[in-house]
Every structure is written in structure tokens, then in C-alpha cells.
Amino acid sequence: MKFFLDTANLEEIKKIKSIGMLDGITTNPSLISKENIYNENDVKKHYISICKLLDEGKYLSVEVISTDYHNIINEAKKLSILDPNKIVIKVPMTIDGIKSIQFFSKKKIKTNCTLIFSVGQALLAAKSGAYYISPFLGRLDDISYNGLKLIEEIKKVFFNFNFKTKILAASIRNPIHIIECAKIGIHAITTPINTIYSLFNHPMTNIGLNKFLEDYKKKIK
């Protein structure tokens, strides 16, 4: 299972890359707004900077802010040319978004259909040719719906019809989400940096390491 980092922060990207756990990046307008970027040209430069940190075969999902078909197409073309080999166009699950995904699919431009909250939405995105879909686990959990159950159901439907669309689980809130997604066997998750770091932690590991070091210091002079 691939680990995507849900961020637009260059330092966070460098940290996860340094430990060999960076398979891709997902961004959205909210994440970009945290980076103190104030104009469209600087946003594009920032995306290029992120792409430079990604190795070959790893992708950056860049979300359009347009919501109607023609503007989605125009905006996405400008974003795609920033780095055609690494940028995936992130498109919302709407009628215009689905129409756009069909257009991009014919042009061999990879897309990520975001804000997926149902199997029906996932089915429409896959039929339209989306390269990724992003179901939002945490936001479903927030309204007392089992987000992991949705992931399982989507995977079953995709298997039934041999869809090539990859499931990229989003809105990951805790390490349990990551582990359960791995058990289900989906392609990738995207998560903030702290959730990835939390996978390293276990109290027994710390206790064991401290014991080994203490014993060594007692016996080895």
C-alpha cells in the first residue's frame, strides 16, 4: 500500500521523503492556504517545487478550484503542463466534475475524483475513467457512518467489474485507519504527517530499547 502525504508544506514533504515513506502528495485549496501564498503565480511555483521533490513515478494531486465544466478544463490544462509526468488533476465529485474526468481520460491526463462519500459516486468516477478516487473516511466517521465499510464496498464493486481506478483513501484521522485500509488491500492512503509518524510508536518498543541499552551499559565497559 502506498503512502501519500496530505500536505502542501515543503518541509513536511522532505521529512517523509528522508525516511523513504513518500509515494506521492495530495493537496487541496485549504492546504495551500496554510502556506502563506498570495497569488496564482506563486501557487504554480509552489506546485513545481513539490514536483521537484518527487521521484519518477510518484504523483502530486492538484485540485482545481473551478466548478463548471469549461473552467475546470481550462484550469486543469494550465496545471497539468507544470509537470505532465507528475501532476494528477483533482476534480470534485459533481456532474461537471465527472464530465471533466471523461474529457481528461480521453486525453490520457490522470485524474483524482475527490470528495467521494458513497459507492454510487465511486462507481460514476470509475466509469468516467478516473485514475484515482478519494473516499473520505474521517468525515464519514464524523457523521456516524463507517468510512472503512465504504472502502470495502467500493473495492468489491471495482473487483466485480475489473475497474482499473485506484482507491486512495483520504481524511485519515488515526493509525487504525491506515492499518485497516492495508487489511482491506487498497492501493493507497493519504494522510497528514503526524499520522504516519504515529505508526512508529509503541510503548513496548520503547521499553525494550531502553532495557537493551541499560543492560549493555551495565555489562560492557
- Whether 90 is catalytic is yes
Mean pLDDT (whole number) for 117-130: 98
Question: Domain limits of the chain?
Answer: 2-219
**What letter does residue 188 receive in the DSSP assignment?**
E
Q: Which of 86, 90, 110, 155 is catalytic?
A: 90
Task: Tell me the per-residue pLDDT of 135-163, one tens digit each, with 9 for 90 and over.
Answer: 999 999 999 999 999 999 999 999 999 99
DSSP3 helix / strand / coil % (the chain, rounded to 5): 50, 20, 30
Helices 147-160, 175-184: inter-axial angle, 10-degree rounding? 20
Fold designation for 2-219: TIM Barrel (3.20.20)
* Percent of the chain scoring above 70 in pLDDT: 100
Per-residue pLDDT tens for 198-221? Answer: 999 888 998 898 888 887 888 776
Following CA atoms 102, 64, 139, 9 in sequence, which dihedral angle do they give, to the nearest 10 degrees?
130
